[in-house]
Every structure is written in C-alpha cells, then in structure tokens.
Amino acid sequence: MLEIIDLFDENLYLDVNPDVAEAVNNGIVQSGFDHFIRFGQFEGRDPSIFFDTNFYLTNNPDVTALVQQNSITPIQHFIQVGQFENRDPNSQFNTDIYLQTNPDVADAVQQNLLTSIEHFVNFGIAENRLFSQNFIGTIFDVVVTSAANNGNDAAIRFDGLTGRLIGEFPNGGGLTDPRDIVQEIDESNTVLINGGNDNVLRFDATTGNFIETFIEFPELNGGGAVFGPDNNYYVGARSLGSIVRFNGQTGDFIDEFIPSELVDFPRGFVFGSDGNFYLGNGADPATGGGGGTVIQYDGLTGEVLNPNFVNDPELSPLDVINGLDGNIYVSSEFPFGQDDSVATVRVYDVDTGALLDVLDAGLDAEGTPILDAPRGLGFGPDGNLYASSTGTGSVVRFDGATGDLIDVFIEFPQLNGQALNFVPAEN
C-alpha cells in the first residue's frame, strides 16, 4: 500500500521550505525527505501537493485530537488509517467522486488491491481520471505574463499541479514587456501575447514556441485583450487610451471600438455573459486619481449603456473577467498606487452591477497582505480563481465556489504578473 515516501515530493519540499534546503546544503540533514520524517511532519509541513496537513486536520477533528495528544502525525494517520477509510488528503481530491466515476478503481479498492489515492497517484493522473466535482484530470500549466518594470520581462510557465517554475516561453518574435495572453478560439492550440512593442505575437500553447507576428500596429502598446462574440480580437491600446478591434482571423485593423474620450484610463475589459461589454475605468497611474467605475457598453455597437454600471467607492479596477457563475469579477487596488492600498477581488451582479462579494486573501503570519497590487485574473480548469499579486511576486488561488483563499500557488522573485492563462501541459 501507499507509504509516506510515495506522497513526498523532494524538489517541491525544498522549494517551499528554503530553511530545509539550506540545512541540506550544509549537511545538517541528508535530504528533504530525511527532514520531513525527523522534523517536518511534526511541524505541520506538507510533503507534497497530494497531502494538505491543515485541510486534513480541519476536516478530521478526531485526528486533530490525536495529534494534540502527540499520538500520531497527520500524515502518519492518513497512511496508516485515513487512506483505508476513504478520507480525503487535500481539498482537490474527492475520494467519493473518484470511486463513483471510476468503477474499476472502486472494484480494486473493494478487493483491497490498493487505495483510491494510491491509484490516483500511480495511475489516475496519467489517465486523466475525474477526481473532483470541478476538475476533470486535465493536466495544465499556468502561463503568467510578467511585465518589464520588475525585472522579469517574459511569459513564464508554471506547473499547474504544483506551481513550480517550468521556464520561460522562448523569446522568439521579440516579445517585449508582455501584457495579456489570450487563447485563440479556432481550436488551433495557440495563444496571442501583446506587449509594449506595438506587436501581437502568436505562440504554440503547448510548447511555447513562437509562430508568427499576428498584428503590427503603431502606438498600440497593448494592454488587456479578449476575443469577442464576433470572433474578432479586441485589445486595449494604452498609448491611445482606447479599445481597438482587429479581425480575429487575419489581424487586420477594423476600428476603434471604444474611443479614448469615453474613459479616464482603460483597464481590463470583458464581454459579459449578457453580451454587453464591460470596461474597468481605472485610476491614472501617474496621479492615482480618477476612475473607480465599470462602464457598460453595447456589445455590438460600443454605445455607452451605463457609465456607472459599477460605482463602488472602494473600487480601483484592474482586470475584469467573467466568473463561472456569469457575474463580473474585478481585481482592485484601492486607493491605487498607495502604500496603504487594499487589494481585493470584487464580484458584481451582471444584471444590476450590485456588489455581491469581496474576496480578501487576508494577512500572512507576519501580518503582510497575501494579495498585494493584484492584476490578472483567471478561472482555471480546476474551477478555482487565480489572481496575480504583483506586490508579492506571486499568484494567489481562491476556491471558485466559496471564494475562500486556498493558497499562494506560485511564488517567483520579481514576478510582475499582468495576466495569466492556462495551457496544455507539455509532455
């Protein structure tokens, strides 16, 4: 049956525990696994993404009582007892769903040939087995566009299961100061990335290899971008202060969909679930003033329907996306650019613009905001919400159903994540 070492990830353990990595380098412990067995499991450290100590204790109060009595550690309980009782080892793996949707696994478990988590770790991941309500075992990576002014001028790829750095997209085509990354809608497995050099570049979504320059447009200086319901490509022209539309097939210029005089400082935008166009009217980055609304436009004509569709006094909008519930999610840094800014993700009713929820990541153990200067948002294939945090060089993950903080999924020095997207994992 499954043993502790089978749930242990040496590289990840050293990545997330730099004190342990230093101890290994200094010869104090032989390896990360040696540290975990001797110390880490007693300190509440996680061995890998497959076992979440806090989750296990929170959902199993009987285990918490045993741990408090120093009778056993959480991982020891799971290995010796929990896996045989079909207890869930983390928030993403649902044992009941795994057995219900995989009857062959249920039969094997019934015959005591293996446990459900043992099957998943050894076979289920590679076989793309369904293991939770929201996540079909699609193995994906997260690509974050990191703008130039923090030192990482690249599209950077991270493992979608662990958050571990994989590497940069090859810097073909002269990718400079990348901003948004958008999946094309023609099933070609390609993405478009725009940036500060007035170009929009096309890359293979799986390999990250440069394919071609899709758009060249003077003074584009692209910001946010989306494909519209008309299959055309809309991009924020930061130098012009407008939203420009290009043919989604050819890249040819069509028109200025939203003129510059209609908005203070355009930020993120999206075609809502109702077909209308929603644009974050942001603060001027030079002064921090202005903005603070989300403007509603007719999705066909670009005509203003409601200049104050969202008029939230505590909003300074940045990215704007659709939620899985059809409502509008907006990353906010308010007041913009200030030392005491409050970083949140705010949820608004797509029909009324009313504030429905505020997602706040809270503070870490040192009292520092976990989410700071947020920019890009995206719902992953796992149904959870990912938010780039430029102030901390990280990507924070929220539960897509409850809005509760799950974890800091990615940590990377000087990551200046302007946008993020999800691509197939490279084999």
Q: How far apart are CA 254 and CA 256, in angstroms?
A: 7
Q: Are 128 and 161 in contact (CB under 8 A)?
A: no
CA atoms within 13 A on the CB side of 416: 13
The amino acid that residue 294 corresponds to is V
Q: How far apart are CA 312 and CA 345, in angstroms?
A: 13
DSSP count for the chain of H helices, then E strands: 9, 24
Q: Are 266 and 241 in contact (CB under 8 A)?
A: yes
Q: How far apart are CA 59 and CA 93, in angstroms?
A: 13
**189-223 in b/e burial notation, b at 16+ Cβ within 10 A?**
ebbbbbbbbbbbbbbbbeebebeeebbebeebbbb
Identify the H or E element spanning 157: strand 154-159
Longest dimension (CA), the chain: 70
Quick one: pLDDT at residue 135? 43
Backbone angles phi, psi at 334, to 5 degrees: -130, 130
- Please give the domain boundaries of the chain with CATH numbers for all domains: 4-91 (no CATH), 141-424 (2.130.10.10)
Quick one: pLDDT at residue 297? 97
Q: Are 215 and 177 in contact (CB under 8 A)?
A: no
Identify the H or E element spanning 333: strand 328-334
In terms of pTM, does the model score above 0.75? no
What distances in angstroms separate CA 20 from CA 73, 74, 344, 364, one per listed residue? 19, 20, 33, 20
Average pLDDT of span 21-30: 96
Sign of CA dihedral 35, 38, 39, 43: positive
Collapse the DSSP code of 80 into the 3-class scheme (helix H, G, I; strand E, B; otherwise coil) and give the result: helix
The predicted-structure confidence for 95-152, as pLDDT tens digits, reads as follows 888 888 888 999 999 999 999 999 988 888 777 666 654 444 456 899 999 987 665 7
Would you state the structure tokens that stand for residue 216, as one six-digit string?
């060249």
Count CB atoms within 10 A of the CB of residue 275: 11
Quick one: pLDDT at residue 298? 97
Q: How far apart are CA 171 and CA 169, in angstroms?
A: 6
The predicted-structure confidence for 209-260, as pLDDT tens digits, reads as follows 999 999 999 988 889 999 999 999 999 998 888 999 999 999 999 999 999 8
By residue count, the chain amounts to 427
